[in-house]
Amino acid sequence: MKETFFMTPQQIKIRKMLADKRGILLAHYYTRPEIQEIADVLGDSLVLAQQAAQSDAAIIVFAGVHFMAQSASMLSPQKTVLLPCLDAGCPLADMADAESVRKMRRTHPDAVFVTYINSTAEVKAECDICCTSSNALKLVQTLPPEQKIVLLPDGNLARHVASVTGKNIIPWEGCCPIHQALTAEDVKARKSDYPHALFAAHPECRPEVLALADFVGSTSAILQFARKTNAAEIIIGTEEGILFELTKNNPDKTFISASPALFCADMKKITLDAIEQSLETLQPAITVSGDIRSAAKKALDRMLALS
Ligand code: SF4
């Protein structure tokens, strides 16, 4: 957090509460700009999980969705992990449940089960290793060439990783409804409005959308791509919250959201009011305990060790 001089009175109050309580605010790129502005760490799921594990704060306030706060709690059980809105969920994470994973395991007993971090603790507990969109390619490459892999719950990410690595990957048929809503027609329309623009897309998008992309990568990778490219205009195929950081980092470039559908209502549930209230009451606190935590943490730890 750098630009303290532009803070509103409420932002100043929240920063003071965080300092008084030895708290840190972790925020995902998809959250509201006024939250991104005052976050201690702004990042993608991988960076936020790493920070949750490494931080020596007593309290972690998570501006993100439920599975992120769960992961933070599993990695740092001694800390209080607050999710200011308990109903900020992830429809993608809800597309896999533990019983369905166990059933798939019986069908593919020789497969390694890789779960995207966008999954519940119960699902992580049934899987061998976690991944994020930043490290999925790298982690899958560490597995033996002939290894059968089940990658869940995002089918588009699984198909993308399979096409890049050539690995034997069985996709789970879940999707992020936000990225799935972006169609090839939307992208073609934007490209015709901005004929000189490049198109950068997140791997949660449909295959036919990724086929139109000049660059495919996680939110962090899209930020790096935007910094490095000489293109003056870039169409962005991921949730619109990232445009705040993109524009801040690259004031001389123009970023165009590929579709108004790229808006995650769950991520936007976290507001400054909700953060302030949560810091006052130290609720809602997210915990994961017992066997679920130890099994799910193994999958998270394997990911962090290989990242
Ligand atoms: Fe879940 Fe998609 Fe929202 Fe991310 S953008 S939190 S994957 S629904």
69-91: pLDDT as tens digits:
999 999 999 999 999 999 999 99
- Residue 3 has a pLDDT of 53
Confidence of residue 182 (pLDDT cuts 50, 70, 90): very high
- The pLDDT of residue 222 is above 80: yes
Q: For 239-260, write each residue's pLDDT tens digit.
A: 999 999 999 999 999 999 999 9
- The pLDDT of residue 303 is above 70: yes
Atom of ligand 1 nearest to the CA of 91: 8
- Which residue among 219, 266, 269, 270 has the greatest number of ligand 1 atoms within 8 angstroms of its CB, and so is best to mutate? 266
- The pLDDT of residue 221 is above 80: yes
Which residue's CA is minimally distant from atom 5 of ligand 1?
264
Helical segments of 168-271, H only: 177-180, 184-193, 207-210, 219-228, 242-249
Which residue's CA is minimally distant from atom 8 of ligand 1?
90
- Which residue among 62, 152, 239 has the greatest number of ligand 1 atoms within 8 angstroms of its CB, and so is best to mutate? 239
- Residue 46 has a pLDDT of 84
The count of other CB atoms within 10 Å of the CB of residue 128 is 16
Distance of alpha carbon 82 from alpha carbon 71, whole angstroms: 12
What would the mean pLDDT of 215-223 be, rounded to a whole number?
A: 97
How far is ligand 1, taken at its centre, from the CA of residue 294, in Å?
Answer: 25
When the pLDDT of each residue in the chain is averaged and rounded to a whole number, the result is 96
103's CB contacts (< 8 A; 6+ apart) are: none
Give every strand in the sheet of 148-152, ordered side by side: 129-131, 112-116, 148-152, 168-171
- Residue 1 has a pLDDT of 58
Q: What percentage of residues in the chain have a pLDDT greater than 90?
A: 93
Which is nearest to 157 in space by CA: 243, 216, 75?
Answer: 216
Taken in order 155, 42, 130, 132, is the CA torsion positive or negative? Answer: positive
